[in-house]
Amino acid sequence: MLPQTLNPAPIEPTMPDPSLVTLTHVVYGLHATSLVIGAFGAATLIGAFLFGWPSIIAVVINYVKRGDVAGTWLESHFRWQIRTFWYAALWALLVVMVSLPLTIVLIGFATWAIGLFALGIWATYRIVRGWLALNDRRPLQS
């Protein structure tokens, strides 16, 4: 009789259904659409990302389909997309809370503009980085 090993082989993540890979591309596309609307429309980049219908639909899809991607490499992409949205919302709230009282001395307009611009660049970076990783079929490290 052979002795049992104490270190079992690592469990490989299951391969996702191809339709879930397509859905993840769609979610990145919805977020990117919101960013483009913000860049070329009347809204700010981060405003369109947080309050635009494409991003809101994308986050709803993330929450509804999150269980379907559990245990696959797509799970990291769903986590990445959800965190990008909620961290952007949190940081936008912080920028507004800091900038609002500073508008009395007029510097608040600058902190608001610079803060939301930087946040828009950050959100764009996160969506591009995630989508490129998805294209390469690799998970993301949070």
Identify the H or E element spanning 87: helix 74-102
Over residues 21-33, mean pLDDT: 96
pLDDT digits (tens, 9 = 90+) for 29-73: 999 999 988 888 766 778 888 888 999 999 999 999 999 999 999
**What is the spatial distance between Cα 9 and Cα 60, in angstroms, rounded to a whole number?**
36
pLDDT band for position 3 (50/70/90)? low
Lowest mean pLDDT among 55-64, 72-81, 97-106, 123-132: 97-106
Q: In the chain, pLDDT over 70 holds for what percent of residues? A: 89
Q: Is 17 a residue whose pLDDT tops 80?
A: yes
**Where does residue 119 rank: exposed (0-12), middle (13-18), buried (19+ CB within 10 A)?**
buried
pLDDT band for position 1 (50/70/90)? low
Residue 127 backbone phi and psi in degrees, to 5: -70, -45
For the chain, the structural domain boundaries read: 18-135
| Whole-number average pLDDT of the chain | 87
Note the pLDDT of residue 113: 86
Q: Is 116 a residue whose pLDDT tops 70?
A: yes
Q: The whole model's pTM is what?
A: 0.83
